[in-house]
Amino acid sequence: MPSVVDFSGVIALRGQYPVLAGLDLCIEQGEIVLLRGPNGAGKTSLLRACSGLLSIASGKASVLGYDLLASNQEVRKHIGFVAHQNHLYSDLWVRDQLRFRALAARAHDGDIRSICDRMEIPQRLLQLPTESLSAGQQRRVAIAAVALRRPRLWLLDEPHAGLDSEGRDLLDSLLQDAAKAGATIVFASHEINRAETIATRSISILGGQAVGGTNVS
């Protein structure tokens, strides 16, 4: 299996503070990797570095074959990032929101219907402003918007937050199907019991470094 994420001695700074401090990591295609660690360990920074949103100061960093030190633009087209924030425009209707994301990803209205069915987003919600949705509904729309891009690498930061039990099952099933189709999933979670049911490998992050990894299933 080819490496999707290949980091060696990666250092990333926020101001003067090293949020990634010589991190070594290798993730292969099709893996579902759980990042675990206390608050401030560097999980979110690692996800942002993989997405090209956080610049890397030094080291060797390759994602999907793109050298992040040379350019972090190209890799972004192939990445789906579900962050703490939902990345939704509060004034847009849900339908407008998903259509914008679909057009940006060269997807079609049929794809919108399909992902709404998959995430059990009812048709009536499509005609509502995003800000009028509950936190859990907004999370489902955010995940649907990312899924529309058909990313090769999924990066998720606490993806289960705000979702009800049914929504969590839907998300887990979506991620497992994406991995079966050849995508790679990297996600950070504090809900270890649930996260370990879908993860194939677990990596501990501490002080901006990967300090240990175990195969889960």
Partner 1 sequence: MFHDALLVARKDLIIERRAHVVLGQVSPLGLLILVVFGFAFDANVELLRLGSAGLFWVAVLFTGLLLVQRTFDVETEDGNLDALRLSGFLPQSIFLGKVIGLIVQLFLLELG
Q: Which is nearer to partner 1, 91 or 120 (CB)?
A: 91
Distance of CA 48 to the CA centre of its chain: 9
Closest by CA position to 114, among listed 147, 90, 85: 147
Residues 6+ apart with CB under 8 A from 156: 47, 81, 82, 175, 185, 186, 187, 188
User: Using CB under 8 A, which of the segments 12-20, 28-36, 91-99, 209-217 binds partner 1?
Assistant: 91-99
As given in the structure block, the two tokens for residue 145 are 């918007």
Give, as ranges, the residues between 142 and 181 that touch partner 1 (CB under 8 A).
Answer: 145
Contact between 133 and partner 1 per CB under 8 A: no
Q: Which of 76, 118, 150, 201 binds partner 1 (CB under 8 A)?
A: 76
Q: How far is the CB of 216 from partner 1 (least distance, A)?
A: 28
Contact between 79 and partner 1 per CB under 8 A: yes
Furthest CA-CA distance within the chain: 49
Kindly list the residues in this chain that would bind partner 1 in the complex (CB under 8 A): 51-53, 73, 76-77, 79-81, 83-93, 96, 100-101, 103-105, 129, 145
